[in-house]
Amino acid sequence: MTGRPAAPRLAARRVAAVAHFIPDLCPIVPQLKGLFIPHLDRLQHCQTVIQQHLTARWETF
């Protein structure tokens, strides 16, 4: 299973949608994107590694 490349874009759209409804957040949307997107990339990498590990274990079972 490969990582979903749309996930960071989806997260950025969600942040932008929240900022649309809460005007106080508008100035910090770029910082929010900078905070969340690297974490999403790391989580997707972890998911990929775990999936590969489980697949390898299943194939050798």
pLDDT in the model for residue 34: 66
Q: Residue 1: inside a domain, yes or no?
A: no
- Please write the tens of the pLDDT for every residue from 7-61: 667 767 776 666 556 556 556 666 666 666 666 677 777 778 888 888 887 766 5
pLDDT in the model for residue 47: 79
Q: Residue 17: inside a domain, yes or no?
A: yes
Domains held by the chain: number: 1
pLDDT in the model for residue 3: 54
Q: Residue 34: inside a domain, yes or no?
A: yes
pLDDT in the model for residue 17: 65
Q: Residue 53: inside a domain, yes or no?
A: yes
The parent domain of residue 48 ranges over 6-60
Cβ atoms 33, 12 nearer than 8 A: yes
pLDDT in the model for residue 48: 84
pTM beyond 0.85 = no
- By CB neighbour count within 10 A (0-12 exposed, 13-18 middle, 19+ buried), where does 42 fall? exposed
